[in-house]
Structure 1
Amino acid sequence: MNQKRTFGTILTVLGIVGIIIGALAFLGVGGIGLSKMNSIVPFVVGLIFFFAGINLVKATGDRA
């Protein structure tokens, strides 16, 4: 597996985790003690990581 593809996969997974944490913090579920405005930060960072990872995986070609 290519290193760029592996890094893209890691970024995508971290993005998904960030989106979930941001959503849970916004809803006040799970004991995450963040205000509504502060919960936007992990959500936005998660979106950035998610889309960067997806683009990295899509742009990297396979080599046999």
Structure 2
Amino acid sequence: MNLKRIFGALLTALGIAGLIYTAVVFTNTAGSTKDVKQLIIYGVLGIVFFVSGISLVRTTKDES
């Protein structure tokens, strides 16, 4: 197995988990500044991990 593909899959899973956590925080917000900061931080990190993981899996050649 290719180590880059495994790392890409791990990054993608972390990105999905971050985006799901952002959705959970969004549904339970009261509108305070702390909630907005959490939404921005976890949302941006989730998107970055997800996009980087998907691009790493897509660009890695499958050499057997």
Per residue, is there more helix in 1 or in 2?
2
Which of structures 1 and 2 has the larger relative contact order (alpha carbons within 8 angstroms, sep 6+)? Answer: 2
What TM-score do you get using the length of structure 1 for normalisation?
Answer: 0.85
Root mean square deviation of aligned Cα? 1.4
Within 2, Cα distance between the matches of 1:27 and 1:40?
A: 14
Runs (4 or more) in structure 1 with deviation over 2 Å come to none
Structure 1, unaligned runs of 5 or more = none
Give the Cα separation in 1 of the matches to 2:28 and 2:37. 12
Alignment of 1:1-64 (within 5 A): 1-28=1-28, 35-64=35-64
Identity across matched positions, percent: 43
How far apart, in 2, do the equivalents of 1:3 and 1:38 lie? 32
Unaligned residue ranges in structure 2 (runs of 5+): none
Q: CA deviation at 1:36?
A: 2.9
Q: What TM-score, normalized by structure 2, do the two folds share?
A: 0.85
